[in-house]
Structure 1
Amino acid sequence: MNSRIPLVALAHGSRDPRSAATVHELVTVVRALRPGLDVRVAFLDLSAPRLGDVLTGLHNEGHREVVVAPLLLGRAYHAKVDVPGAVAETVTRLPRLSVRIADVLGPDPRLESAALRRLAAAGALPGDGKLGVVLAGAGSSHAPANAAVHQLARRWSFGAGWAGVEPAFAASTQPDVPTALARLKARGAQRIALASWFLAPGLLPDRVAAAALAGGLDTVVAQPLGDDPEVAELVLHRYAEACAAERRNITTLVG
């Protein structure tokens, strides 16, 4: 890993201040894991600082290489369009700055481990045959981005000893939370645990939590993945992959 190349941890941004606060908490853990690495926070929209401002600042400080690590759980529209578009818009103004975009965070077993830890912390332990688990994600019109949630729910269904595990989405696709709840009730669930496939709090996590709590069963809600240490390790792993690709000269340069 080339620690001389700054890492820009890029989140989408939100009007909810809890979201930006959680991103900063995660980056604090990243810095603690790699003290010699220059790690900055940036946002695509709705929160500050914006990506263009951070890249411009790094350029003005004399940096000529940067790795941007999208804090996204899957390869949907933001990863495919928004992130490269925002990077390209900036580097056209900064032709001496080479920006490499790391892979998104998911899928990766470390995210699954973090989600299970959040679920256990909320009181949902394996072996509770009366507990139904809803694994809730944002949802996307890009079907492969939703597939990871479906696959994870299927994997959790085997061996955990719960009444069942159902995927649900906040927007753009089905099933929604009420549908997942109905399926779990039909399988005998008497209590519900909402597992979070979100990085940070915000409108969509609040939406699925409200729907779960309105479902008529005793319900616990797990926190988003946030500053879990394995999420921080994964950010550094994506950074390392981008640096290794640079050394192999196979990375895609933007600009």
Structure 2
Amino acid sequence: MDSPLLIACAHGTANPDGAAEVNALRAAIAALRPGLEVLEAYVDVQEPALPDVVAGLPAGRSAVVVPLLLSIGYHVKVDIARAVGSRPGTAAAAPLGPDPRLAALLDRRLREAGVTDNDAVIVAAAGSSDPTAADNVEELVGQLRALRSNRIVAAYGASAKPSVPEAVAMLREEAAGGAGAGASAGAVDLGGRVVIASYLLAPGFFHNQLAKAGADLVTAPLLPSPDLARIALDRYDAAVSAS
């Protein structure tokens, strides 16, 4: 029996570099699993739109939608769930994050950028109005804290608090106050920098905004990395096993 099709569903972006990175991720997923048909779909900005991809699936073929997204949120709970519910034999996998491999990848991006133990780190996610998304990011932050001794906080590009600029301002104020400003929370060393760790898949609007937030340094997005393709296939396999 044929394996279910894998619908790799990304958010979509108008940024050509970001789109190229997502295309490369989809190709990497297919390369890791020869014979598995991997389809392209988006929930916003780009085409083909996920509902159209689901509606156009071959009769009798099952499929799994794998969100190329880092957290549960509106797109997973509403857009993807609605598309999956529109066609029998179609299932939804979990999003890519949180996952310890993503925390390890963030740690690698921080090391590549020369971040030291004295630097304060803001894990910057896109943000969502769904509180589950923030819970997912906080779980990822906890995984990163297990790998690094830095002061690490989460912040968001939209729809959740604190915003990234607010987090930068908070850490600047904490540093200016010295040990009395937050020793119990791990106050920022006065010689350290404020660093934004981009918890985003690829270049695009939200990543571009990070450069305007007032930090000393912004790391590169998560892509390119073979870890993302492996995680996507793990999510697919788990969904197939559960169906």
TM range (shorter): 0.7 to 0.9
1:172 has 2:172 as partner:
no
Aligned mates of 1:67, 1:159 — CA distance in 2: 33
Q: TM-score, normalised by structure 1?
A: 0.80
Aligned mates of 1:184, 1:158 — CA distance in 2: 20
Q: CA contact under 8 A between 2:5 and 2:61: conserved in structure 1?
A: no
Aligned mates of 1:113, 1:143 — CA distance in 2: 24
Moved over 6 A (4+): none
1:236 has 2:215 as partner:
no
Aligned partner (choices 118, 141, 147) of residue 129 of structure 2: 141
Deviation of the 1:69 alpha carbon: 0.8
1:30 has 2:29 as partner:
yes
Deviation of the 1:156 alpha carbon: 3.8
Aligned to 1:98: 89
Change (3 A) 1:207 1:27: same
Aligned to 1:78: 75
- Per-residue CA shift, 1:163-201, capped at 9, x if unaligned? x22211111121122332233332235323211111222
Instruction: Please tell me the residue identity of whatever aligns with 1:139.
Output: G
5+ residue gaps, structure 2? 176-187
SS at match of 2:35: coil
- Per-residue CA shift, 1:68-92, capped at 9, x if unaligned? 1111211111111111223445x3x
Q: TM-score, normalised by structure 2?
A: 0.83
SS at match of 1:173: coil
Q: CA contact under 8 A between 1:134 and 1:165: conserved in structure 2?
A: yes
Aligned mates of 1:199, 1:63 — CA distance in 2: 33
SS at match of 1:115: helix
Instruction: Please tell me the residue identity of whatever aligns with 2:193.
Output: R
5+ residue gaps, structure 1? 92-96, 247-255
Change (3 A) 1:121 1:155: same
SS at match of 2:27: helix
1:65 has 2:57 as partner:
no
Change (3 A) 1:132 1:3: farther
- Per-residue CA shift, 1:181-228, capped at 9, x if unaligned? 2333322353232111112222122212321xx34xxx2322222232
The alignment's C-alpha RMSD in Å is 2.3
Pairs aligned (count): 228
1:119 has 2:119 as partner:
no
Instruction: Please tell me the residue identity of whatever aligns with 1:29.
Output: A
SS at match of 2:161: coil
1:5 has 2:7 as partner:
no
- Per-residue CA shift, 1:21-58, capped at 9, x if unaligned? 22111112212211221112211221122223433443
The percentage of counterpart residues that share the same residue type is: 39
Aligned mates of 1:105, 1:3 — CA distance in 2: 24
Aligned mates of 1:121, 1:25 — CA distance in 2: 22
